[in-house]
Each structure stands twice: as C-alpha cells, then as structure tokens.
Structure 1
C-alpha cells in the first residue's frame, strides 16, 4: 500500500529539507509547489495572481500524486498544510485511493524560521518578509497529538 506523506509547517521550518531526505530514503516522489512555481513564474510573491497560480500548481500536483499513489508508490506532498481542515481533506483523499497517510511536522521556533528565511531570501526562492511570516504564523494550526499519532 502506498503512503501519502504530508509535510506540515511554515516556510523555513525545514519541510523541504526533510522531504528531500525522505525522498532518497523511502523511496518516494516529492512534490514541492514552490519549485514548480519559481520555474514557471519566477519571484512573483507580490503579484496579484500569485495565490491563484500557486493553488493551480498544487491542484495539478495533487492530480499527479493521485496517479502515483494508485500505482503503489509513496508521495511526499510538501505543501505546508497549515490547517487541520486541509490535512483532514488530504487524509480523506488518500484513503479513497487506498493509501495511508503520515503527517510530518518539525516544530520550529519563530527565531529559527526568521533566521532561515533571511538566508533563503538571499537565494533564488520566494522572498518572504518577517512581517509576512509573523502574519502567517498567526494563521498556522500546528497538528495535534492525535493527528501525529494516526
């Protein structure tokens, strides 16, 4: 049976680094929307259509993930999954395909996230301001113990 791995956390929390490690160790197919977004649209986080573009990429990656899971191969979705509702939705989707789901969450202090973002902002990735990150952190719902145990 294939497993859907949900990478949960804010930008800079270590999701993609961990997802890359898992991709090699499992093996699994890793789908990271930011990588696709940057290749297609570049650094457009301030663009009015950024969120719509990102949502479209995530929808396309899910369609790909569905096909991969039904072939019995593990998939790592590096989407962030900020809300319990979203995580529950993807667990339900995986179950409908006959796949199991594992939630991966790396609790990371905000000071560490902001430090990592400063380094990332200097590289070729989405530039996220401290103000934006602090706003996003208020929207983030960390997974509960029962989600992590399931």
Structure 2
C-alpha cells in the first residue's frame, strides 16, 4: 500500500475544492491562505509559481499551461481526499463552470468563493501589496486594472447558489474537452 491509498475499509470524507473568484486586490490570496490552514487544504496560487519561474504574471501563454497542470494536480488531490484551495481568479463563467463540473465529476464538494472589490479598495490594496510584499506580486498598470474590470464576468445568483455547471459552450462535446483546450496541459 502506498501513502496515498486509504486503509482498506476506511471511510474517507469527500474533499472540498475551494475556487477563489475575483479581481486582483479582492483579498483572494489572503482568504485562500486562511482556508488552506482551516481545512488542511493544498493551496494552489498561480502567481506563487509564475513569479519565481518567469518573473512575470503572463509569459507567452505559460500561465494557461501552469493553470492546466495545477488543475490536473488539484483533481488528483481531491481524488485522494485532500481538499484544495485554487486561487486563480477565474474571470470567466466558462472557466468556473468547467472547474465545477470537473470537481463534481470526482465526487468532491465544490465551493466557489467570490470576493467583489470596488475600484478604490482594489487600487489601495494593489498599491499596499506592491509596497509591502513586492516579492509576492508584480506591479499592475492602470491598463491591467482596466482590462481586468472590463473582462471579468461577475458570477450571477444561480452560479453563486451552486446550481450546477450546465452544459459546455456550443461546439464542445463536454467540459473535459473544453478544459483541455482552455488549459493545454490539463489533459
């Protein structure tokens, strides 16, 4: 028996996959750290890898590749009964729906945590983070902030209430196929 296998006959509680959703400066990483400690969960934060590996937040699609491998790892963890906190931001409804479907297909609990942030608070937090922990973050320009606000899809009431992922976008056989396209290293 390997360390990752449960004892024969041992009941294992279903793992929980916490998906942090929101714009930069919303407080996702702070809450993700707390949730990881409270639930003994594996915390996966893309910037924790992008910064040391590439010294950038986005490098020629490498963020998508990294997120794909992190998603693969997260699903492996929940299969083994380990809870996960995924701190990606997950700006699009399709991303969130795909992740929800993939997690629920593993018989794990899915919990989306949306942290809204107003413009002034966001800018204050981003500036404070850059001033106090520059090694944990990269500067965000005005254009970056505006881009995020323009492209973030705010979760609606049904999504927040966890009413399921629904079907994939037109042209896709299923969420697994959509996810493999969205995050090239997922498959």
Do both share a fold (TM > 0.5)? yes
2:161 is matched with which residue?
149
Q: Map of 1:1-150 to 2, 5 A cutoff? A: 1-42=14-55, 44-45=56-57, 50-122=59-131, 123-124=134-135, 125-150=137-162
Question: Where in structure 1 do 4 or more consecutive aligned residues deviate above 3 Å?
Answer: none
Please give the secondary structure, in 2, of the residue aligned with 1:87: helix
Residue 143 of structure 1: how far off its partner (Å): 1.1
Describe the shift of the 1:121–1:51 C-alpha distance in structure 2 as closer, same or farther (beyond 3 A).
farther
Unaligned runs of at least 5 residues, structure 1: none
Q: CA RMSD in A?
A: 1.3
* Per-residue deviation, residues 40-92 of structure 1 (Å, max 9, x unmatched): 111x24xxx61511111111111111110000111111010101111000011
Please give the secondary structure, in 1, of the residue aligned with 2:61: helix
Instruction: State whether residues 114 and 130 of structure 1, in contact with CA within 8 Å, keep that contact through their aligned partners in structure 2.
Output: no
Give 1 or 2 for the bigger CA radius of gyration.
Answer: 2
Residues paired across the two proteins, number: 146
Instruction: State whether residues 102 and 148 of structure 1, in contact with CA within 8 Å, keep that contact through their aligned partners in structure 2.
Output: no
Instruction: State whether residues 8 and 103 of structure 1, in contact with CA within 8 Å, keep that contact through their aligned partners in structure 2.
Output: yes
TM-score, normalised to structure 1, is 0.91
Instruction: State whether residues 20 and 32 of structure 2, in contact with CA within 8 Å, keep that contact through their aligned partners in structure 1.
Output: yes
Task: State the distance in 1 between where 2:40 and 2:142 align.
Answer: 35
Q: Which has the higher contact order (CA 8 A, sep 6+)?
A: 1
Unaligned runs of at least 5 residues, structure 2: 1-13, 163-187
